[in-house]
Amino acid sequence: MRYNRSASRDLSHQHDSNEDRRHRETKRTRNKHTIMGATPFTERILKAKLPKGFDKPTDMKYDGTNDPKEHLTAFEARMNLEGAADPVRCRAFPVTLAGLAIKWFNALPNGSITSFHDIS
């Protein structure tokens, strides 16, 4: 029996190509899944870039026990001061939530928030 190096090389190359293709498909799917995981935000909001130097409002916390309108007013004032566009406001809002408020937010249907108006 003769060993055919050329055929072996072709099979090896084909296997590598299939592996590469599977890896690229998995990576592409994983990246898309990461972007559009379980979140109430639309893809447009998730892809919005935060402005350079944007100060995330981590010092503002709302846990559902105080007046929600008061929290929204303070949050909107902060975002106005930052000059934050609507998608940035949406992305920044969940960092201000805690306790029951973040549970409420996380229970919203996937893709249901298209603008900050949907939250407020």
pLDDT along the chain (120 residues), means of 10: 52 54 49 59 94 90 94 96 95 95 94 94
| Torsion of the alpha carbons at 27, 28, 32 and 33, rounded to the nearest 10 | -40
Residue 77 lies in a domain: yes
Closest by Cα among 83, 74, 87, 80 to 116: 87
- Considering its fold, how many domains does the chain have in total? 1
Residue 105 lies in a domain: yes
Residue 97 lies in a domain: yes
Residue 102 lies in a domain: yes
Residue 30 pLDDT: 43
Residue 24 lies in a domain: no
Q: Which domain covers residue 109, as residue numbers?
A: 40-118
